[in-house]
Amino acid sequence: MTDGSTYTETAEHTWVWVVDQEAALNQPGKQHEECVDCPAKRSENTEIPALRDYAVTVTGGTATVAAGTPITRAMEGVEVTVTAQAPGGKHFVKWVVKAGGVTLANETSATTTFIMPANDVTIEAEFAENPVEAYTLTVIKGTASVAAGTPITDNIAQNTVVTVTADAPETGKVFDKWVVLEGNVTLADATKATTTFTMPGNDVKLEATYKDASPSHTHSYGTEWKYDGTNHWHECDCGDKADTAAHSFQWVIDKAATKEATGIKHEECTVCGAKRSENTVIPKDSGSPETGDSSNLIGWLAALFVSGGVLTLLGVSGKKRKESEAE
Report yes or no: 257 and 242 within 8 Å, Cβ to Cβ.
Answer: no
Q: Whole-angstrom Cα distance, residue 327 to residue 320?
A: 11
Residues contacting residue 232 through CB under 8 Å, at least 6 positions apart = 225, 226, 244, 245, 247, 269, 271, 272, 274
What's the CA gap between 187 and 144, in Å, rounded?
A: 13
Q: Give CB contacts under 8 A, 24+ apart, made by 19-25.
A: 19/48, 20/45, 21/48, 22/48, 23/48, 23/49, 23/50, 23/51, 24/50, 24/51, 25/50, 25/51, 25/52, 25/53, 25/75
What pLDDT band is residue 275 in, cutting at 50, 70 and 90?
A: very high
> Contact at 8 Å (CB) between 124 and 95?
yes
Taking the C-alpha atoms of residue 106 and residue 100, their distance in angstroms, rounded to an integer, is 16
The DSSP bridge partners found for residue 59 are: 124
Q: Which of 28, 24, 63 is nearest to 45 (CA)?
A: 28
Q: Is the pLDDT higher at 312 or at 112?
A: 112
- Interval 34-63: pLDDT, tens: 999 999 999 999 999 888 889 999 999 999
Task: Name the amino acid, one letter, at 69.
Answer: T
Instruction: Say which residue, 273 or 318, is predicted with more confidence.
Output: 273
The amino acid present at 139, given as its one-letter code, is V
Contact 74, 63 (CB under 8 A): yes
pLDDT exceeds cutoff 70 at 72: yes
Average pLDDT of 111-127?
95
Give the Cα separation of 292 and 159 in Å (integer): 81
User: Is 217 a residue whose pLDDT tops 90?
Assistant: no
